[in-house]
Amino acid sequence: MNILITGGAGYIGSATSYLLLKKKIKPVIIDKLIYKKDNIIPKKTIFFKSNISNLILVKKIIKKYNINSVIHFAAYKDVEESTLKPRKYYNNNYLITKKFINCCKENGVNNFIFSSTAAVYGNLDKNKKVTENSPLKPISIYGSTKKKIEEYLKKVSDKNFKFFSLRYFNVLGADKYFRYGPIGLNLNSFSNNLYKSIISGQDFKIFGNNHKTLDGTPVRDFIHVDDLANIHFESLKYLIKNKKNQICNCGYGKGYSIEHVIKTLYKNKEMNLNYSFSKKRPGDISYMVADTKKLNRILNWKPKYSNLKKMIFSELRWRKKLTNN
């Protein structure tokens, strides 16, 4: 395998890069390092600091290293920011990505793994698991750009260019050796907001206790970053062997309410954590849990991690390390 990873110095990208190195595969990485000192460049990889919009460089890399497979992570990913800066997200996550896909296809890339998201589903307003055939009704610009790229991949795919789109649910966790973990401490995410509440002593805000769920708080499906990295590797092996396009949900298929998660952590006496409720925000999704039957079936995949508490604590330790550096 000759693999190019875009965004390979980011959270999931670096986890996947380390996994490939463990498999004796030396990937080529393109990353513009938007998080500067927080970015993680795995040793022994071939690294280029650049945006994927530099198609001249992309073409040279594909030709020089005989790249036949691409794992594409590079994208802006803050859902809330995408509503405030829609042009930024539309330009980078859609227009630039389209041109990048064309460059890959025109220069001999055969396999394309796409980093998608559960945000393509939007708010289905039903307390049941989401399948790959559920309606796609994104309510954010971020989700919309991912949906449009999936549609574009279907359009340009042919016998020599196949894709595998992975729709992530909520990614958690960090490497037990502290080599990688979530980066960008200003991102608006569950784990980031949780960490900021712990170090500041301020209440963790749960948005709404009137959702149509068992305890009234949003329900989410979490997956460890190492399991997700492994899914990328297995997806690439599938494409190379079967040469068939696929779209799969990436989660554990188990939902946890946000209040349940916080109460579990609250029992830890060493942790300074309190919580309170805020009003439900317009567009907040009440229930988002993956149906993973398709992923398990076609990749014969089973998760290695399942303990949510351990996943969260590994990430909190990582964030503390970043803050102290």
Local confidence pLDDT in tens for the 325 residues of the chain: 899 999 999 999 999 999 999 999 999 999 999 876 657 888 899 999 999 999 999 999 999 999 999 999 999 988 878 888 999 999 999 999 999 999 999 999 999 999 999 999 988 767 889 999 999 999 899 999 999 999 999 999 999 999 999 999 999 999 988 888 887 655 667 877 888 888 888 888 998 999 889 999 999 999 999 999 999 999 999 999 999 999 999 999 999 999 988 887 766 655 667 889 998 876 678 899 999 999 999 999 999 998 888 898 888 888 877 777 6
8 A C-beta contact, residue 292 and residue 252: yes
8 A C-beta contact, residue 255 and residue 95: no
- Which residue ranges does the chain devote to CATH 3.90.25.10? 190-219+254-289+305-324
SS3 label, residue 48: strand
Tokens, residue 270: 């060493």
CATH, range 3-173+222-250: 3.40.50.720
What's the rounded Cα separation, in Å, for the pair 141 and 115?
16
Structure confidence at residue 193 (pLDDT): 83
Catalytic residue among 18, 89, 142, 305: 142
Structure confidence at residue 197 (pLDDT): 86
In the chain, what is the straight-line distance between the N-terminal and C-terminal CA atoms, in Å? 36
- Which residue ranges does the chain devote to CATH 3.40.50.720? 3-173+222-250
180 is catalytic: no
What's the rounded Cα separation, in Å, for the pair 153 and 188?
29
CATH, range 190-219+254-289+305-324: 3.90.25.10
Tokens, residue 238: 């599938």
Query: Residue length, the chain?
Result: 325
Non-local CB neighbours of 144 within 8 Å, separated by 6+ positions:
138
Structure confidence at residue 158 (pLDDT): 97
Tokens, residue 225: 């970053």
Structure confidence at residue 85 (pLDDT): 93
What's the rounded Cα separation, in Å, for the pair 20 and 15?
9
The reported pTM is 0.94
